[in-house]
């Protein structure tokens, strides 16, 4: 398995609270991604990073922010969680170019 | 926007039979394609990939076929086993920022 660890694996929180999800990799890959997975949808890209401090928005970035201060860590923050952000969140890593993305095992986030 | 879809949302096959999972894509500029397998509670797992300069690629018990003329991708699993039961996704990229677009998935059930 690719060296990707997501934490926490499960979280329940209330509307309006801040939430931070962490992705840690041991592969020294340049690219890191955050996706959400919801029934009836394919994986949808939230944000991605192409290097330390280099990030860009994906197709569903509203309400989310990210940070990457080290190659190995990519943080996803929900500043003020809403019920529509209840989802399973996956982190992925890639060496870039035509190389596959490898995924972590996800964080199941429930916002009540 | 990108559109990656699957012809059948569910597929049931007898153990030992061959399985074929199909995927249509809409971006004629896509040049790299991946098939992923996702088991319940886990992240997508890379199975096999193919670049647009190829029509066919084989792995262990799996074959991916690419028809660029009709923008169609298929995954063939030989001698399907119970452990193959999972959701299978295709993904494509035109290598723009290494962003991939994912289909919604086909759920494969293997009947013992």
Let me know: does A103 contact B34? Beta carbons within 8 Å: no
The answer to whether A103 contacts B51, with C-beta atoms less than 8 Å apart, is no
Separation of CA A71 from chain center: 14
pLDDT value at residue B96: 58
Query: What does the pLDDT look like over B56-112, one tens digit per residue?
Result: 999 999 999 999 999 999 999 999 999 999 999 999 988 655 688 898 889 999 999
The answer to whether A103 contacts B34, with C-beta atoms less than 8 Å apart, is no
The answer to whether B44 contacts A96, with C-beta atoms less than 8 Å apart, is no
pLDDT value at residue A42: 84
pLDDT > 80? residue B3: no
The CA distance from A99 to A41, in Å, is 23
Beta strand ranges found along B27-83 (DSSP E): 32-38, 45-51, 56-58, 62-67, 72-77
Nearest to A41 among B36, B97, B104 (CB): B104
pLDDT value at residue B97: 54
Using alpha carbons, list the distances in angstroms from residue B24 to A20, A29, A32, B17, B106: 35, 30, 26, 23, 12
Select from A55, A98, A106 the residue whose CB has the most chain B CBs within 10 Å, as the one to mutate to test that interface. Answer: A98
Residues of chain B contacting A96 with CB distance shorter than 8 Å: 98
**In angstroms, how far is the first alpha carbon of chain B from the final one?**
40
For B:3-32, CB contacts with A below 8 A are: 4, 31-32
Query: What does the pLDDT look like over A5-61, one tens digit per residue?
Result: 999 999 999 999 999 999 999 999 999 999 999 987 889 999 999 999 999 999 999
Q: Is B97 on the interface with A (CB under 8 A)?
A: yes
Phi, psi (deg, nearest 5) at residue A43: -55, 130
What percent of chain B clears pLDDT 70, i.e. is strictly above it? 89
Q: Is B54 on the interface with A (CB under 8 A)?
A: no
pLDDT band at B9 (very low <50, low <70, confident <90, very high): confident
Nearest to A103 among B32, B43, B93 (CB): B43
The answer to whether A106 contacts B49, with C-beta atoms less than 8 Å apart, is no
Separation of CA B81 from chain center: 17
pLDDT > 50? residue B1: no
């Amino acid at each position: 398995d690719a060296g990707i660890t997501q934490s926490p694996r499960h979280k329940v929180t209330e509307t309006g609270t801040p939430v931070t999800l962490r992705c840690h990799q041991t592969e020294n890959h340049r690219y890191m991604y955050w996706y959400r997975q919801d029934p009836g949808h394919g994986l949808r890209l939230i944000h991605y990073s192409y290097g330390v401090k280099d990030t860009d928005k994906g197709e569903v970035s509203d309400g989310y922010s990210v940070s990457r201060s080290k190659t190995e860590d990519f943080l996803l923050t929900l500043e003020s969680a809403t019920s529509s952000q209840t989802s399973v969140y996956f982190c992925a890593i890639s060496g870039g170019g035509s190389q596959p993305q490898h995924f972590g095992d996800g964080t199941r986030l429930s916002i009540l | 926007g990108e559109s990656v879809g699957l012809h059948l949302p569910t597929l049931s096959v007898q153990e030992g039979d061959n399985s074929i999972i199909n995927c249509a894509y809409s971006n004629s500029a896509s040049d790299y394609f991946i098939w992923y397998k996702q088991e319940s509670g886990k992240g997508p797992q890379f199975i096999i990939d193919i670049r647009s300069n190829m029509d066919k690629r084989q792995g262990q018990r799996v074959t991916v076929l690419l028809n660029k003329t009709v923008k169609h991708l298929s995954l063939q699993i030989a001698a399907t086993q119970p452990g193959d039961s999972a959701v299978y996704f295709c993904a494509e990229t035109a290598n723009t920022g290494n962003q991939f677009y994912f289909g919604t998935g086909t759920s494969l059930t293997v009947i013992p």
